[in-house]
Amino acid sequence: MTISTNSINHIRLTVTDIDRSRAFYEALFAWPVAIEMPADTPAAEQGRFDFLYGGVIYNIGHSLLGLRPVAKDAFSEDRTGLDHLSLTVDSLDELTAAVVLLEKAGVAHSGIKDIGEANILEFRDPDNIALELFAAKTQ
**Where exactly are the structural domains of the chain?**
8-72, 83-139
What whole-number percentage of the chain has pLDDT above 90? Answer: 71
Residue of 68, 66, 7 whose CA lies nearest to 31: 66
Whether 8-72 shares its CATH topology with 83-139 is answered yes
- The CATH classification number of 8-72 equals 3.10.180.10
pLDDT at 45: 80
Q: What average pLDDT score do residues 113-120 get?
A: 97
pLDDT at 80: 87
CB-CB contact of 66 with 10 (8 Å): yes
Helix or strand holding residue 101 (H, E): helix 92-104
CATH class of the structural domain 83-139: alpha beta
Enter the pTM of the model.
0.90
Question: Does residue 45 sit in helix, strand or coil?
Answer: helix
Rounded CA-CA distance 49/58 in Å is: 15
pLDDT in tens, 59-93: 999 999 999 988 888 888 898 889 999 999 999 99
- At residue 3 the predicted structure's pLDDT band, cuts being 50, 70 and 90, is confident
pLDDT at 89: 95
Q: What average pLDDT score do residues 44-61 get?
A: 87
pLDDT at 106: 97
pLDDT at 139: 58
pLDDT in tens, 86-112: 999 999 999 999 999 999 999 999 999
Is pLDDT at 23 greater than 80 in this prediction?
yes
Is pLDDT at 38 greater than 80 in this prediction?
no
